[in-house]
Structure 1
Amino acid sequence: MIAGLVVVVVLVLLASIILFRSVALIPQAEAAVIERLGRYTKTVSGQLTLLIPFVDRIRARVDLREQVVSFPPQPVITEDNLTLSIDTVVYFQVTVPQSAVYEINDYIIGVEQLATTTLRNVVGGMTLEETLTSRDSINAQLRGVLDEATGRWGLRVARVELKSIMPPPSIQESMEKQMKADREKRAMILTAEGQRESSIKTAEGNKQSQILSAEGAKQAAILAAEADRQSRILSAQGERAAQYLYAQGEAKSIEKVFAAIKAGKPTPELLAYQYLQKLPEMAAGEGNSVWVVPSDFGSALQGFAKSFGAQGDDGVFRYESSDHDVPPTVDDSDVEDWFDLASDPKVAQAVAEAEAVARKPVAEPLTSRSQSSAPETVLGGRDRGYPDADQGEISPGEDTDRT
């Protein structure tokens, strides 16, 4: 009874073992290399596989996904004899599982060693500066060599990246000093450039300010000269009219005096008396110290009376008016406009235009001002708005003709 039970248990265990070894479940993205009696039979992936117990066996299971392997830092000597510590990252994928199993013992170790040797060959022909600035070139060379070498292993190398490049501490310190010096140099250059630009802008501003000041001074000088000219012309016109009036008044005064004298019929005694009254005034000058009265003074007065008077019954010469003593008439028609108190419209227009130019704000660009400054420098030109001789301005020659 017990012996039969033991036999049943043994048969059940044997059946379980046989069933377990006869069925294999291979998941997706994984491949199983199957051998029969020690020889490669097939590769299965993502399915349920039946095996012949004790005849078939799964030699290896291979991950078909892209794998990322980071290798520890490796010492590499550059062309300028500097030792760098470089660690790499390789992205690869198994494309032929049976080759990865049968062509190489451990494809990960093979990839690592191949990457190390290739890295030393590539970096050994570069200097430190080239190594630090040629990461893409190094990555491309490593990928090309590894992909070609691992093709027979059933691998496809997708990418190779240099994770870090660590130079010796002394070189790092020197690089930091050099970087600091370069940054200070760039900062000094930028500061100098800023100062130069600032100086240029300041000089340009001063130049424009001086030009505008000169333009303003020029306009002020032109307006002052124009005002002085107009003032002189008006003053000359006023002085001319005043002299004419003064002369006319003197003439009228002399005419009235002589008319009064003739109306009063003066005698030689009266003339002598008036003459004697004027003698002290004539001798009142500071330089008049001696006066001599001529001895024939009476005869001179008598001849003077005879010249414009007639002798009466009493023997005294008296003035007698005649019908021909008519005061002369003066024609003032040619000088009537001298005494017109109204302002000359041409002069008023010139002054108004000059004031308009002076009040005009200066806001034009420097280039346009320099281009338009040539015609504006002519005193009295039409571009300035000042009346000239062609526009009816009163010139000194015209003033002489009008006088």
Structure 2
Amino acid sequence: MDPQKGKPKENKTEHLIADRREGIGVCGWILLSFSFLLVLITFPISIWACVKVIREYERAVVFRLGRILSKKAKGPGIILILPCTDTFVKVDLRTVACNIPLQEILTKDAVATQVDGVLYYRIHSAVRAVANITDVHSATFLLAQATLRNVLAMQTLAQLLGGREEIACSTQAILNRATEQWGIKVACVEIKDVRIPVAMQRAMAAEAEAARETRAKIVAAAGEMNASKALKQASMVLAESPAGLQLCYLQTLTAKNNSTIVFPLPINMLVSLGQKSKGG
């Protein structure tokens, strides 16, 4: 609130529209009266020149004697335009998709990359889009291109490759703050492709391969450790149960589809035989 006037502050566009209330002057009223008279004299032929059809996805910003006719754009449907005094500009409110071309980016950790993207936006205020800027589409495209470069330049390569969603959200927020006065609403910003130098790709591939080999070695060592623990437990069980050891001997004698039979002989028997041979 303005402490002096006690009224809400208006933006530039609202001041621009409010100026028309001060009056169009004597010449303006003469031209306006002449325009009405011309329409009445040439009616109903003039109705075809005065009636304009605005589609559902369009809005019309009407200028009367160079001033915006109302705070709100007209349409959709049929609107009346007076000859000689009124002009209008059609504004498309549908979502626009534009490609951000491939551009060179130097990341925070000094890695040269090439990045491209896509921008989705729409006009939510036709009056601002016409009154506050000359070419709203070209300005939005150039601003998106510069903003994306600035945001990516503050990221490292790892953040760029792994944090695309965060980068897109940050870029969208910056663009929305900058384009609000143009009547633009940025719906989405997406990074399509990130290209890094071939030498960097080879280094990253070698690092990934080394990491995979390290993980494989760790898994193999863990498997061998588990197998040795299982063998140790089995040997302790067999040592405590002589019957189980004899069953293992009998199982070893079983041979299927093989002509070789392995006959296990206990070590203590061989030791006793060796002692008898020495004593004889």
State the TM-score, normalized to the length of structure 2: 0.64
Partner SS, residue 74 of structure 2: strand
After the TM superposition, which residues 4-403 of structure 1 pair with which residues of structure 2 at under 5 Å, given as runs?
18-42=46-70, 43-58=73-88, 60-167=89-196, 171=197, 173-217=198-242
- Code of the aligned partner of 1:46: P
- Code of the aligned partner of 1:211: M
Q: For the residues of structure 1 that align with 2:188 and 2:123, how far apart are their CA atoms?
A: 14
What do the CA deviations read for 1:281-313 (whole angstroms, capped 9, x no partner)? Answer: xxxxxxxxxxxxxxxxxxxxxxxxxxxxxxxxx
- Code of the aligned partner of 2:69: T
Partner SS, residue 70 of structure 1: strand
Q: For the residues of structure 2 that align with 1:92 and 1:102, how far apart are their CA atoms?
A: 19
Question: In percent, how many aligned pairs have the same letter?
Answer: 29
Q: 1:25 to 1:130 in 2, by over 3 A?
A: same
Q: 1:219 to 1:126 in 2, by over 3 A?
A: closer
Give every structure 1 segment of 4 or more consecutive aligned residues whose post-TM-superposition deviation is greater than 4 Å. Answer: 14-17
Paired position in structure 1 for 2:276: none
More helix by share: 1
Q: For the residues of structure 2 that align with 1:23 and 1:174, how far apart are their CA atoms?
A: 65
- Code of the aligned partner of 2:181: R
- Code of the aligned partner of 2:184: L
What do the CA deviations read for 1:16-59 (whole angstroms, capped 9, x no partner)? Answer: 8733321001111210111122221142111111221232222x
**RMSD after superposition:** 2.7
Q: 1:46 to 1:219 in 2, by over 3 A?
A: closer
Structure with greater contact order relative to length (CA < 8 Å, sep ≥ 6): 2
Q: 1:132 to 1:17 in 2, by over 3 A?
A: farther
Query: How far did residue 15 of structure 1 move?
Result: 6.8
Partner SS, residue 93 of structure 1: strand
- Code of the aligned partner of 2:86: D
Query: How far did residue 143 of structure 1 move?
Result: 1.2
Partner SS, residue 154 of structure 2: coil
Q: For the residues of structure 2 that align with 1:163 and 1:35, how far apart are their CA atoms?
A: 41
Partner SS, residue 73 of structure 1: strand
Unaligned regions of 5+ residues in structure 2, if any?
1-41, 248-280
What do the CA deviations read for 1:116-153 (whole angstroms, capped 9, x no partner)? Answer: 22222222222322322232232122112111111111
Alignment check: 8 A CA contact 2:238 2:244 kept: no
Alignment check: 8 A CA contact 2:172 2:188 kept: yes
- Code of the aligned partner of 2:199: S
Partner SS, residue 144 of structure 1: helix
Partner SS, residue 199 of structure 1: helix
- Code of the aligned partner of 1:28: E
- The aligned length equals 204
Pick the structure with greater CA Rg.
Answer: 1
Partner SS, residue 28 of structure 1: coil
Q: For the residues of structure 1 that align with 2:238 and 2:195, how far apart are their CA atoms?
A: 65
- Code of the aligned partner of 1:214: A
What do the CA deviations read for 1:312-341 (whole angstroms, capped 9, x no partner)? Answer: xxxxxxxxxxxxxxxxxxxxxxxxxxxxxx
Alignment check: 8 A CA contact 2:59 2:93 kept: yes
Q: For the residues of structure 2 that align with 1:80 and 1:207, how far apart are their CA atoms?
A: 52
Partner SS, residue 104 of structure 1: coil
Q: For the residues of structure 2 that align with 1:80 and 1:195, how far apart are their CA atoms?
A: 36
Q: 1:120 to 1:187 in 2, by over 3 A?
A: closer
